[in-house]
Amino acid sequence: MYKVPLFDLNFGEEEAKAAYDTIKSGWISTGAKCLSFEERFANMLGAKHALTLANCTTALHLAMILCGVKAGDEVLCPSLSFVATANVIKYVGAKPVFCDIAGLDNLTIAADEIEKKISPKTKAIIVMHFGGFACEMEKIVAISKKHKIMIVEDACHAPLSVYQGKKLGTIGDIGCFSFFSNKNISTGEGGMLITDNEEIYKRAKLLRSHGMTTMSYQRASGHATEYDVIDLGYNYRLDDIHAAIGLAQLDKLEQDLHKRVALRERYISHLKESDKIIIPFKDYQEFSTNYIFTVVLKDSNKEKRDLMRSKLAESGIQTSVHYPAIHRFSIYEKERTSLPLTEYVSDNLITLPMYGNLKIEAVDFVCETFLKILGEI
């Protein structure tokens, strides 16, 4: 066990009670709890529609279908993301075209890379708001309008992050969120797709449940007795037990995010003087979820970074790497390309502990230990 883990659940009696009450209610599959979760999530973000899904990977997969991406098409995406961001492009037979990041202090997809890599085959762009910090959306939206390309936001890190007065996930055509255990909102597994487009929403809802025109919940409540199947759909539904936990988590979200802001400030106050590291997004001005706190080692290499991580682990501090670059994974051999900034970050980034209930003293301990080890190696 680590003295300071990377992440800890923000769970209490509220989540346990929500799950228990749902089990006792007699309805556990997609129903009233999912509907309330969708309604509250949409309101919170200022989106017209929200749809609960089994996880974010299914949301991103549906997003590809809803954007009309087909075999032979190309979709631009970052390589510095979780592998699902690119896998979903392959699910529909299209080709991921990996773009480099904006810089060592801005780990999101570079707008000028997007512009450079657009081809007549490009159907969509998937952007990922790294750590809850916005991509260069103003430029990216302008490019997408000029070339008539859809934007999907992988907003897994960013529920309630703000960009120019809008919530992340509501700027592109479709926003996708994850409620996996270690995300800002945890339900175990879970996801949400949001959109302002009525047609996209209606089709997403069909595809979520086998393309069936009615759901068991409607039939059980006497609102429907039969169904047709009008589209090739999936079973990508969330259930009411997970949705009830999600509702309990929404009650805590804002407070959790405010604690993270203070923790990030504490990290920066300790680490900003070091000339051996870059703190990505250090001067970022807008509200961010601070899903993770990362640093990039300067003039370093993978061996040195890995040594740092193992020494931190020996001191009881759990770290991670966000992310191993997707384009270097074996299954992406055919799409391999040179992305110098992404590759440097992938080899030299360290993710330090961050979660709402992390103690300020623990941040002090992590920073003191980190700086001491950094001075020695």
Ligand X SMILES: *Cc1c(COP(=O)(O)O)cnc(C)c1O
Cα 71 from Cα 95, distance rounded (Å): 8
Q: Which of 11, 27, 91, 180 binds ligand X (CB under 6 A)?
A: 180
Indicate the residue among 81 and 209 with the shorter CB distance to ligand X: 81
**Angle in degrees, CA 356, 362, 367, rounded to 5:** 110
CB of 88 to ligand X, least distance (A): 9
CB of 82 to ligand X, least distance (A): 4
Stretch that binds ligand X, among 115-123, 149-157, 223-231, 369-377 (CB under 6 A): 149-157
Cα 245 from Cα 318, distance rounded (Å): 27
Helices within the chain (DSSP H only)? 13-25, 32-45, 56-66, 84-91, 111-117, 137-147, 198-208, 216-220, 240-271, 302-314, 340-348, 360-376
Indicate the residue among 74 and 154 with the shorter CB distance to ligand X: 154
Q: Which of 45, 156, 243, 317 binds ligand X (CB under 6 A)?
A: 156
Indicate the residue among 241 and 373 with the shorter CB distance to ligand X: 241
Among positions 44-63, residues that touch ligand X (CB under 6 A) are: 55-57
CB of 198 to ligand X, least distance (A): 25
Determine if 79 is a binding residue for ligand X (CB under 6 A).
no
Partners of residue 349 on adjacent β-strands: 296
Indicate the residue among 183 and 305 with the shorter CB distance to ligand X: 183
CB of 162 to ligand X, least distance (A): 18
Residues binding ligand X: number (CB under 6 A): 14
Q: CB-based contacts of 327: which residues, under 8 Å, 6+ apart?
A: 79, 98, 335, 336, 337, 339, 342
Among positions 100-129, residues that touch ligand X (CB under 6 A) are: 128
Q: CB-based contacts of 99: which residues, under 8 Å, 6+ apart?
A: 76, 77, 78, 79, 109, 110, 113, 114, 117, 339
Cα 245 from Cα 59, distance rounded (Å): 19
Determine if 184 is a binding residue for ligand X (CB under 6 A).
no
Where along the sequence are the contacts to ligand X (CB under 6 A)? 55-57, 81-82, 84-85, 128, 154, 156-157, 178, 180, 191
